[in-house]
Amino acid sequence: MENSEELKKIVQDRYGKIATQDKAVNASSCCGATSTSNKIYNIMMDDYSEMGGYNPDADLGLGCGLPTQYAQIQKGDTVIDLGSGAGNDCFVARHETGETGKVIGIDFTETMIKKARENTEKLGYNNVEFRYGDIENMPVSDRVADVIVSNCVLNLVPNKPAVISEVYRVLKPGGHFSISDIVLVGELPESLRKDAEMYAGCVAGAIQKDDYLQQIKAAGFTNIILQKEKPIVIPDDILEKYLTTSEIASFKRNTIGIFSVTVYAEKAGQKETQKKQVALADISNGCAPESGCC
């Protein structure tokens, strides 16, 4: 497998092309990145079409879950979407946070940023913005976000602990994330694990499920909850590109687990809104917090 910078370039190039592809092409391939399967069905993605704020122009048929459905976004929240693509999750998040909130999408593919901004302008939203940047070093100040979401992106990043650390940095105290991603149980065959195309296709870059959860815990997050888990089955016509017939049979016998998981976790601390509510309650009881009587 290539080094980190080479992998990033592969992902940028691949997703730059995806931004200009028809959704049907993306939806019939492994996370939109590999050659089209002759079985026309979506391998990873969940259906967004019934969610408030859904915009079909922003839905490229990518992703592996519905993190915004589980993210517990409140009116007025500031939400950051990691690997925002054409803006799909950002527009769903904007529906939840309302006009008083703010949504920031971060992506390191310029074509995706351009497409997302065009979609935003069509919708007339003035509280959704898209920033070009690497989520290993987010173009965002400390303690900005109430909620962070991401959909099938961390597996594309070589340095996953760096991203998780950045998530912790930019969340406000008491903030939380809901992230959907691909994880493994058991080892992938070497031909899959070392292939750059399978890396860009959301599979080879996935890490072990237990390691993934441990990295979240090691970053300091608490109340870690597995909100959803679903198995991912790679069709034979994709496996045939990498494995012989006997290797495919062995792969299936070994029951290698490839899963889409949606994980929730919190940053320790008290939310600002909660602090304000406490202060207002104190004042209503005749005791101003700064007086020291509380």
pLDDT in tens, 8-24: 777 777 777 777 766 55
* pLDDT for residue 23: 55
Rounded Cα–Cα distance for residues 228 and 226 (Å) = 6
Rounded Cα–Cα distance for residues 240 and 176 (Å) = 40
* pLDDT for residue 286: 46
Closest by Cα among 68, 69, 86, 206 to 149 = 68
* pLDDT for residue 134: 95
Contact by Cβ (8 Å): 87, 128 = yes
Contact by Cβ (8 Å): 188, 256 = yes
* pLDDT for residue 275: 42
For residue range 184-200, list pLDDT tens digits in order: 998 888 887 776 666 56
Q: What domains appear along the chain, each with residue ranges and CATH number?
A: 4-284 (3.40.50.150)
In this prediction, the residues of the chain whose per-residue pLDDT falls under 50 are: 28-41, 274-294
* pLDDT for residue 239: 83
* pLDDT for residue 144: 98
CA torsion sign, 17 to 50 to 257 to 159? Answer: positive
